[in-house]
Structures are given as structure tokens and as C-alpha cells.
Amino acid sequence: MQTGKKQWSLDTTNQTLKEFAKLVNGDKAARKVRKNEPLKVGVDLGTSSIVLTVLDQHDQPLYGAFEYAKVVRDGIVVDYIGSIQILKRLKAQAENVLGQTLTSACGAIPPGTGENSANVVANVIEATEMEAKEIVDEPTAAAKFLRLTTGTVVDIGGGTTGISVFKQKRLVKVVDEPTGGSHMTLVLAGYHHIPADDAELMKRDPKKDSANFPIIRPVVEKMATITKNVMATQLAEPVIVVGGATNFKDFVKAFSHTLGRSALKPAFPQFVTPLGIAMYDK
């Protein structure tokens, strides 16, 4: 049925996410860019990986790559030199593929981590010879990519879960909970009596998804309960879950069940924030 007002949907953003994932996975070759074509670059220094994103002027993905890394903890850079080395590598690979030098980039920090951590992220970017244009907060970057003006973004990354409520483009509430994907890994490690590094690989193995999920389900329910409490004080829909730790087949079903509302998950949820960050590079 046609209604006058267009419903908010994930359709367009899912298309971009799928294109981006093809570039990251090497299923699609990046095109060489024109000399002096303006590029928009995003750097996401995360607890579990560093993601480099390159967009064209129309915010279409040109290139993407990431490296797993343990250089950031709970949004704070704990290995400055290590971060720079990885970013230098990612930048050099991007320049080689695109045939152009990357001259500027934007970065991001979790909300409420302060000016110091923004400076550190800017310094990491500048140490790789890119001008740090803007350091934005992560949920705002995610909302920009999702074109979400009113709603709740739940970003479940490696170390933390960030719940951010937007009303008419304004971030009106942020709750950061120190539980993320690494806690799911620890639960799995404890259950199977195996080292955390082995449990991490087991967790990400798509063939083990249905065996893993019942074990980590209580962690998902905890995150949904926290989100429910936040929404009891500030209600904004839709609820969008992003971040790598939402990558289970039954995640949304379990999360929505505890939340008591339907949450939505974009395709390749781990790339939402990195793509949003690059959109700020002007």
C-alpha cells in the first residue's frame, strides 16, 4: 500500500555495504582513479581491527581494507606506534591499487572519550602523512551513513556496546557499556575450555554459527536489556544494530525478542561506522 511519507529503509545503504564488502574481500577490483580526483578517506581505529575506507565525491566506495589489531582498547589507542605501522601499510596498499596518494582522512572516537583521544587519533592519521580533517564521534558517523535522523544506533564492537539515541539529527543520549564481542569470545572459551584466541576463530566460523549462538546468547540478551532500559528513558525508532559482534544469523531475532521491539541489522554491519567516517572527509 502506498503511503504519502517514504518509510526509512536500509535498501540504499545495504547496496553500498555490499559493494564495499566486495572491494574489501577482493571480489571486485577497485578502479584506478583519475589524477587529482578528490577522494574521501576514513580511518576507524577499533578494538579489534583498523579499517581504511576510500570513497569518491559521491560517497561511493572505491577501496576498503582492514587488519585485525590489538592497538586500541575501549576506544583508546594503547599502542601508538603499532597503530601507525598498520595504517601506513593500509594506506600504501590503497595508494598502490588506486594509483593516487591519499592526502587527507577523517577519524572517529567513541562519544565521551574526550579531546585527548581525538588528538591521539588525529596524530596517528598525520603520522601517516595524511591531513586529519575531522575526528567525529562513532555513532554520529554510523547515523550519517545510515541517513538516520531519528532512531537508536546500537554499535556492538570488540570491546564495547555503544547505544546512541538520535532525535532530528541530534545525539540526545549515549550509553557506553563495556561488553562487546570479546566477551562473547570469553564465554565461548569458558564453555569449551579452550584459549581465547581459538574461541575467537571458532566464534567467527560461519559453519559453527548455530552451535555458537545458544552459548553466547546471554551476552546478546544483556545488551538488549541495556538498550531496553535506555529506550525507556529516550524512545526513538528505528533501532539499528551495527558492529562486527552482531554477525550471527539469529542475532536480530534474539535481540528483538528481549528488547520487545523489532531491531534492524544492515548487511555487513561492521562496515557502517568506517563508511560513515569517510563521508566527513571534504
Ligand X SMILES: Nc1ncnc2c1ncn2[C@@H]1O[C@H](COP(=O)(O)OP(=O)(O)OP(=O)(O)O)[C@@H](O)[C@H]1O
Q: Which does 43 bind (CB under 5 to 8 A by kind): ligand X, Mg ion, none?
A: none
| Interacting residues with Mg ion (CB under 5 A) | 46, 157
- Does the protein bind ligand X through residue 140 (CB under 6 A)? no
Q: In what order do the strands lie in the sheet with 40-45?
A: 61-68, 49-55, 40-45, 104-109, 131-137
Q: How far is the CB of 134 from ligand X (least distance, A)?
A: 18
Instruction: Provide the CB-side half-sphere exposure for 170 (13 A, CA).
Output: 4
Comparison of 42 and 157: residue with beta carbon closer to Mg ion:
157
Q: Closest by alpha carbon to 125, among 68, 84, 89, 85?
A: 84
Sign of the torsion formed by the C-alpha atoms of 29, 34, 123 and 281: negative
The enclosing H or E element of 89 equals helix 80-98
Q: Which does 245 bind (CB under 5 to 8 A by kind): Mg ion, ligand X, none?
A: ligand X
Sign of the torsion formed by the C-alpha atoms of 67, 68, 70 and 73: positive
SS (H, E, C) 172-211: EEEEEECCCHHHHHHHHHHHHCCCHHHHHHHHHCHHHHHH
Which x/- pattern over 191-230 shows residues binding ligand X (rule: CB under 6 A)? ---------x--xx--------------------------
Q: How far is the CB of 249 from ligand X (least distance, A)?
A: 9
- Does the protein bind ligand X through residue 158 (CB under 6 A)? yes
Cα Rg of the chain, angstroms: 18
- Does the protein bind ligand X through residue 164 (CB under 6 A)? no
Which x/- pattern over 72-111 shows residues binding ligand X (rule: CB under 6 A)? x--x------------------------------------
Q: Tell me if 199 sits within 8 A of 186, measured CB to CB.
A: yes
Which x/- pattern over 240-269 shows residues binding ligand X (rule: CB under 6 A)? ---xxx-xx---------------------
Give residues in contact with ligand X (CB under 6 A).
46-49, 72, 75, 157-160, 180-182, 200, 203-204, 243-245, 247-248, 270
